Structure 1
Amino acid sequence: MAAIPTYHYPQQGKLAVLGGGESGVGTAILARKIGFDVWVSDSGKIAEHYKTELQKAGIRYEEGAHSESEIMESDLVVKSPGIPQTVPLVQRLRAANIPVIAEIEFAAQYTHAKLICITGSNGKSTTTMLTWHILSRGGLNVGLAGNIGRSFALQVAREQYDYYVLELSSFMLDDMEHFRANVAVLLNITPDHLDRYDHKLENYIDSKFRIIRNQQPEDLFVYCADDPMTLKGLEKHQPTARTLPFSIVQRLEWGAYLNTDNEIEINIPNQDTFTMDINELSLQGKHNVYNNMASGLVAKAQELRNATMKESMGSFKNIPHRLEFVACIAGVNYINDSKATNVNAVWYALESLAPQIVLIMGGVDKGNDYEMLRDLIRTKVRAIVCIGKDNSRIYDALEEDTKIIVNSSSMRDAVEIASHLAQKGDTVLLSPACASFDWFKNFEDRGEQFKEAVMNL
């Protein structure tokens, strides 16, 4: 098992938690257990069930504003990953030499568990869940946390896992200085959230490569050898850990690749070879071959049996809102891919489905470049139905590549329009490429409204 890292932050005194969501409440409960004088501050509203958790634990909280004078008296601040480092309060805390860290970095100091960390622009939720599924089926005592599931800090406070599989977003990685991933997985890098990175791709690449920061020679780094942005990042960020690449276009001596029999082949030093026909995978599509390769490498590195890996990779059910089958109505399949909040995720969705597709997309544009979708739009998409307040950039980019592109006034309206445009054998795909918060609370709300609208047809 991994050793507890050296403590780099205060271990007692006043601790302020910025943000009263899953991450913040879990952090507060762990901090209280350790012995900090802890309180939670949220500039918005804290959900009732989180208030109940805080009250049961005897933890003070405020909502609707930050009491900055009290926060500035803290010995340590743990902030939500959704709060940018550039906000004035965070800048003032740093100027005062008050450490501002992430939940993941805070909680990692208090567990002996081996940390398996997964990041990437696309596929990280699926790969995280798949990895957890394989390891669990293999008999390991493993928790699931990070950007998915219950708070990592809460589990460290209340559970005794030997392993954690952590989904880490770039926002989470940005707040980490001393955190060490025993196993780091980098799936891919495509332009996303560039508004948070001064619209510079190189800044976003640097953020993703923070996952290998502090790794040691005995650790492991798994990465995609086919991804150009990852290869570019490797020119600057040299791994200290052992490396295992994966590829579907080249044969690799060590790592995972697609052999001439259309099988995933995994080779790790001093272990027997694993092979599995890609047609036997429960998740289909080229992007899911990559996801299975990454998860398979992690599992093989933990010395799981080939039979267990094959059974797990053949039985896994995908997460909600990621290429989730909803219904077949009048011969038309309805697929919920609400979690596709960037252009690359939409590309993966379109690539994995057969023509003809009625695509529902749109929302809060994060500086998207739709150029990479044009070929798939031309060859696979019958029509585009736009959701969201302003879809002018979608029109500008894709209007010439599809015969039909229309606006809608609500998710229900979008689904009704799509159902009229679709023909028997078609697929209606919700894959927005954009953030959700102009019409919806979050991508889950968007996906649930889509599913409800489909079932009401």
Structure 2
Amino acid sequence: MLKNLISDLEQYASIGIFGFGMEGKSFYNFAQKYLPNTELVIIDKNHPSCDENYLDKLDEVELIVKSPGISLYNLGIDYKSYKFSSTTELLLKHFKNQIIGVTGTKGKSTLVTLIDSLLKNAGKKSVLCGNIGTPAFDILENLDDETTIVMELSSHQLYHVNYSVHIAILTNLFEEHLDYYKDVDEYYSAKFNIFLHQKKNDIFIYNLPQKLTRGYNVHENELKYNVDFNLQNGFIHKSTLQILEKLKEILALDDAVYLRTIQEFKTLPHRLEFVKNIKGVSYINDSISTIPQATIEAVKILKNVDTLILGGNDRGVHYDVLIDFLQKSDIDNIILFSDTGKKIYDALHVKEKQKGLFIQNNLQESVKKAYNISRSIVLFSPAASSFNEYKNFIERGDEFKSLVNQLKG
């Protein structure tokens, strides 16, 4: 399969690497080793070799390998105007029969981690890559015909791909990334590419309120968003377990292996992550929650939240469902900051006069406020992205943990 991939790319005398982040650098390293006769052109406004006219380089190459973080819509570039591809599309084209792919608005990272552990516990060869942090081209040299590739796939990675994975899993769909796409339908369509190009021997598992008719090998998961599975080491959503169990049945894996996998699972960083108990108050980091529905689920799982900290970058997502939930909830203190925090504060201030509503300038002030007023659980679950103030949700979550660890016990 690797030989076919190299042969596929050798036909191009020049390849542009559009975006020089993790995936772009991964492809560059691959190409330097396996494509010695190919001219590599980096196209990235932040790269030393580029200037303000860096987009002109798109016209100088035969193939463009685009990084997922680049929004063609925001740049005003028509996808059909150039010969675009991506590391995701190239991997799906040449290794699709070995891939279990997971996409969805939320729950991807937990599920792919569980799937990878399930396969390894069953004695299978498995590698984990994709949006969870390891670029696909970093794992190519570790593959053989017996290796299963478990991929977390974002909408950005799936956008415009013309190939689908062998086993496709769609966890859920909610409004997100509306700063990247023309509208929510375009965002959903990108997600659907994980299964749209499947063949009759492929498998699709999904978890949506509406039916998606494919005609073959489709497994519709029972949708339950308000039930959690509490383990000693963390939380697994019931819908995630249902998908994992269905996959276990499809792959004919042992029940004992399945039980061992979920019992050994530990909550991933920034996903309902316990940080510290200070004076009887537990501080929980849920920075991964970047949409309203994820924050609602976090509150339901923990049950005894008395202080909620939320707010972040405004990407045009609607917050009516969260505002309604907060208005009816038993949460005593709602601390808000940043752009969406101000929006939610204004809406709640009009509707709810009894709750403790606090608007703060930043996360640091929010944590100090929570320290002074909380009695049981402080949940940091922003319900928004972080890009107006932080590099990503990881940096934001790390700052929350650092601020909590500075509080006096």
TM-score normalised by L of structure 2: 0.88
Given candidates 248, 256, 267, the residue that maps to 1:307 is: 256
The 5-angstrom pairing of residues 29-428 of structure 1 reads: 29-35=29-35, 36-44=38-46, 62=49, 65=52, 67-88=54-75, 90-91=77-78, 94-95=80-81, 98-111=82-95, 114-157=98-141, 159-160=143-144, 162-177=147-162, 179-199=163-183, 201-224=184-207, 227-228=208-209, 230-231=210-211, 234=212, 238-239=213-214, 241-247=216-222, 283-284=234-235, 288-373=237-322, 374-389=324-339, 391-399=341-349, 400-401=351-352, 403-423=355-375, 426-428=376-378
1:63, distance to aligned residue in structure 2 (A): 5.3
Equivalent residue number for residue 253 of structure 1? none
Equivalent residue number for residue 15 of structure 2? 15
1:407, distance to aligned residue in structure 2 (A): 2.1
1:193, distance to aligned residue in structure 2 (A): 1.8
Amino acid at match of 1:341: T
Cα distance change, pair 62–241 in 1 and its aligned pair in 2 (3 A): farther
Given candidates 392, 399, 406, the residue that maps to 1:449 is: 399
For 1:369 and 1:452, the matched residues in 2 are separated by 30
For 2:126 and 2:401, the matched residues in 1 are separated by 31
For 1:398 and 1:125, the matched residues in 2 are separated by 32
Amino acid at match of 1:105: E
1:204, distance to aligned residue in structure 2 (A): 2.8
CA contact (8 A) 1:4 1:112 kept: no
Comparing 74-83 with 150-159, greater Cα deviation is found at 150-159
Comparing 152-161 with 290-299, greater Cα deviation is found at 152-161
CA contact (8 A) 1:111 1:156 kept: no
Comparing 324-333 with 106-115, greater Cα deviation is found at 106-115
For 2:6 and 2:389, the matched residues in 1 are separated by 45
Amino acid at match of 1:414: S
CA contact (8 A) 1:215 1:241 kept: no
| Structure 1 unaligned regions, length at least 5 | 46-60, 250-256, 263-276
Amino acid at match of 1:206: S
Amino acid at match of 1:372: V
For 1:9 and 1:86, the matched residues in 2 are separated by 26
**SS at structure 2 position matched to 1:368:** coil
Cα distance change, pair 12–40 in 1 and its aligned pair in 2 (3 A): same
Amino acid at match of 1:38: L
**SS at structure 1 position matched to 2:180:** helix
CA contact (8 A) 1:351 1:376 kept: no
Cα distance change, pair 310–182 in 1 and its aligned pair in 2 (3 A): same
**SS at structure 2 position matched to 1:24:** helix
**SS at structure 2 position matched to 1:303:** coil
Deviations 1:338-386 (A, max 9, x none): 1111111111111111123311111111222222222355323211112
**SS at structure 1 position matched to 2:288:** coil
Amino acid at match of 1:411: L
TM-score normalised by L of structure 1: 0.80
Amino acid at match of 2:87: E
Comparing 314-323 with 99-108, greater Cα deviation is found at 99-108
1:117, distance to aligned residue in structure 2 (A): 0.7
For 2:4 and 2:169, the matched residues in 1 are separated by 21
For 1:29 and 1:180, the matched residues in 2 are separated by 25
State percent identity of aligned pairs. Answer: 29
CA contact (8 A) 2:234 2:272 kept: no
**SS at structure 2 position matched to 1:380:** coil
Cα distance change, pair 10–4 in 1 and its aligned pair in 2 (3 A): closer
Cα distance change, pair 440–181 in 1 and its aligned pair in 2 (3 A): same
Cα distance change, pair 32–386 in 1 and its aligned pair in 2 (3 A): same
| Structure 2 unaligned regions, length at least 5 | none
1:133, distance to aligned residue in structure 2 (A): 1.7
Instruction: Figure out how many residues of one structure are paired with residues of the other and give that number.
Output: 401
For 1:409 and 1:279, the matched residues in 2 are separated by 34
For 2:319 and 2:134, the matched residues in 1 are separated by 34
CA contact (8 A) 1:4 1:109 kept: no
Amino acid at match of 1:429: L
For 2:174 and 2:97, the matched residues in 1 are separated by 31
For 1:125 and 1:377, the matched residues in 2 are separated by 30
CA contact (8 A) 2:97 2:166 kept: no
- Confirm whether residue 27 of structure 1 aligns to residue 27 of structure 2: yes
**SS at structure 1 position matched to 2:49:** strand
Cα distance change, pair 86–9 in 1 and its aligned pair in 2 (3 A): farther
